[in-house]
Structure 1
Amino acid sequence: MADHNPFPGENNTGHIWDSDLRELKNPPPRWWMIGFWTSILWVVGYTILYPSWPVGEEATPGILGWTQIEEYERGVAQIEARRAEFESRIGTLGVEEILADPGLTQYTLASAKVLFGDNCAACHGSGGQGNPGYPVLADDDWLYGGSTAKLTETITQGRKGNMLAHQDILSAEEVDTLARWTVEMSQGEPGSEAGWQLFSTKGCSGCHGPTANGVLAELPGGEVITVGAADLTDRIWRFEPGGYESARHTILYGVNQSGVEQTREAVMPAFGPTARVEDVEIRRLDPQEIKKLVVYVHLLGGGL
């Protein structure tokens, strides 16, 4: 900084850097000063009209009495008023009647998307594609049936698969034969005679059905009787990655078998109004929300 002002007569402060860098005392432009004082007046006016200054646990209320909560509640009320007509109709109609009404179906899908994201997407994926270890909802392969009635039953009551562990029942050779037969069936082959023999005599057909497609009986109207056993005749594997080793593991250790360390786990919780988690009753979804989810899942691509 210079000790003497080398720019006499200039309106500067006398602070000089690097020989010629100095600080002037010129007033700000008029437009800048107008904006400056206007902003001060605006702040004063705002603090008078709206909640602003913290006083104790609350802020000064402002003479307009406006609050964000009240504005939010008004917005929610407007949305609910708009939805009321659709929600009322959904409450009085069955799932099939909703699906028959294109406009109501579109509303239901939009409404159910949030429900699906909050309750289902963690396991089944955001688009129903199925996360690792969980079923795909966007195809037409259903363990318990894909009709709207079955979907309602599944979402409300939940599902828990069950398959006996055969590690102490079958010999190593029999397990190997059945695992290879399962792979053959999944590839569209007829399956070995030895495999069919074991399938029939070891009780497998009691759950997977006489033709190994998971269906015990077909009813008029497309409904089927099933206990949730997998269809062994398609290329879809309940437990990835599929193939010989996967089939062998499932045969040996079963599904949801208590006391079997390597058993497969396949449980879907109940989402009904009186669902229980670890013997504690909690509120999950009401009947109307379940109805919306049934429509949503049905139209993901795999409903029957």
Structure 2
Amino acid sequence: MADTNPFPGENNTGHFWDDNLRELKNPPPRWWMIAFWLSLAWWVLYGLLYPMWPTPPWKLDETDQEFTQGMLDWSSIKEFERGMAQVEEVRAEYDQRIAAMSAEEILDDPGLLQYTLASSKVLFGDYCAACHGSGGQGNPGYPVLADNDWLYGGTLSKIIETITGGRKGNMIAHEKILSEQEVDTLANFVVNLSKGQPGSEEAWALFRGKGCTGCHGAEATGVIATLPNGSIVTVGAANLTDTLWRFRPGGYESAKHTILYGVNQTGVEQTRNAVMPAFGGAGSAEGRLDAEQIKKLAVYVHELGGGQ
């Protein structure tokens, strides 16, 4: 600070640094002051129109609102509810049509099909993606829905049946039934079939002799019988002749593990777990789906790429 003002007549405070740096007392521009007071007035007005001001503790009512509601009675929740009401109004027409149609009829209506797929994406994300992946690609330990390999059938009726009632695989543990050599033979047999190889006569004889055909079918395709209308009869056993593996990573060790410890076997510590909860009807999973939602999901899963 200088003892004398080196800039006489200038409107400064008398504080100087480095000889010529000083603090002036000029007022802000008039436009700036006008904008400042207008912004302050707007802040007060906003607080009167919208929720903002804290409510004194002694004035809290039974709703426990800790702020004023505002003269416009606006809130983000009410805005959300109004938006949802508008969405539901638009959806109502399509949902009424879906309720009156079968899943097969929805597939034949291009416009309604597009709406069904769009509206079912959220359902799939909420109820299915955690296990089957956001695109149906299947998370580790869960089936892929985007291919054409189906344990219980990929028709719309079968998909609806699966979503509604759930599925629980069952394969007995053979650890105490088969010898080590028999387990080795069958595990190699499964690997060879997955590679497109026919399998040895010895392996086929063991496969049939131990009753594996009862679930996996006479041709190891997972199909027990084919009905005259083309529908297949299956108990959910895997097709052993393709390159897909129900339990990853697949291969000899994976096949051996499944043969030894089975699937969903009580009291078998290393058994495979393969349970899908029911999403419809009595005793279904929490947050179960209604018939229309299940129908929509069935169409969505069917159209992921592998529906039959």
TM-score (structure 1 length as normaliser): 0.94
Letter in 2 for 1:294: A
**How many pairs align?**
300
- Identify the range of structure 1 (27-36 vs 285-294) with the bigger mean alpha-carbon deviation: 27-36
Letter in 1 for 2:97: R
Match of 1:242 in 2: 250
Residue of 184, 191, 194 corresponding to 1:183 = 191
User: Where in structure 2 are the equivalents of 1:90-239 lying within 5 Å?
Assistant: 90-239=98-247
Letter in 2 for 1:53: W
In the TM superposition, what whole-angstrom CA distance separates every residue of 1:62-110 from its partner, at most 9, and x where no partner exists?
3333333332222111111111100111111110011111111111111
Please, which runs of 5 or more residues in structure 2 have no aligned partner? none
Q: CA deviation at 1:2?
A: 4.1
RMSD: 1.5
Match of 2:278 in 1: 270
Structure 2 Cα separation of the partners of residues 98 and 78 of structure 1: 24
Structure 2 Cα separation of the partners of residues 2 and 96 of structure 1: 92
Structure 1 Cα separation of the partners of residues 154 and 67 of structure 2: 55
Structure 2 Cα separation of the partners of residues 217 and 233 of structure 1: 16
Letter in 2 for 1:210: A
Q: Runs of at least 4 residues of structure 1 off by over 6 A? A: none
Residue of 258, 261, 269 corresponding to 1:261 = 269
Match of 1:19 in 2: 19
Aligned pair 1:301/2:305, yes or no? yes
Please, which runs of 5 or more residues in structure 1 have no aligned partner? none
Match of 2:78 in 1: 70
Structure 2 Cα separation of the partners of residues 118 and 5 of structure 1: 74
Structure 2 Cα separation of the partners of residues 164 and 122 of structure 1: 28
Match of 1:289 in 2: 293
Contact 1:274/1:283, CA 8 A, preserved across alignment: no
Match of 1:37 in 2: 37
TM-score (structure 2 length as normaliser): 0.93
